[in-house]
Amino acid sequence: MTATNQHISNSGRGNTHQTSHQYRIIKGLAKMVGCIIGLIVALIMWVVVRPILRGVGWLISILTMIAIIYWLMTL
């Protein structure tokens, strides 16, 4: 079997391709890091955004109540 251009260009020690085992390890590690980052973002949103949305909900309820009272008074 003769060496192809790919074999010749990859024959150096520092230029070798990653094995599928290394690729699977890196892929699993990337998934784990992505999950951890997602959990951190979700926790931050739960702590910060949830009270804001609750406040907005109360504001919408009060404005709706005022609008209903105004509508009933102007009938």
Q: In this structure, what are the phi and psi dihedrals at residue 39, rounded to the nearest 5 degrees?
A: -65, -40
Position 21 scores a pLDDT of: 83
Q: Average pLDDT of 50-75? A: 87
Rg of the chain (C-alpha set): 30
- Both tokens of 3, joined, read 């060496």
Per-residue model confidence (pLDDT) at position 51 = 82
Higher local confidence (pLDDT), 3 or 73:
73
**DSSP SS3 for 17:** coil
Give per-residue pLDDT as tens, 4-56.
655 555 555 555 555 788 888 999 999 999 999 999 988 988 888 888 878 88
- Rounded CA separation 47/42 (Å): 9
In this predicted structure, the answer to whether residue 75 has a pLDDT above a threshold of 60 is yes
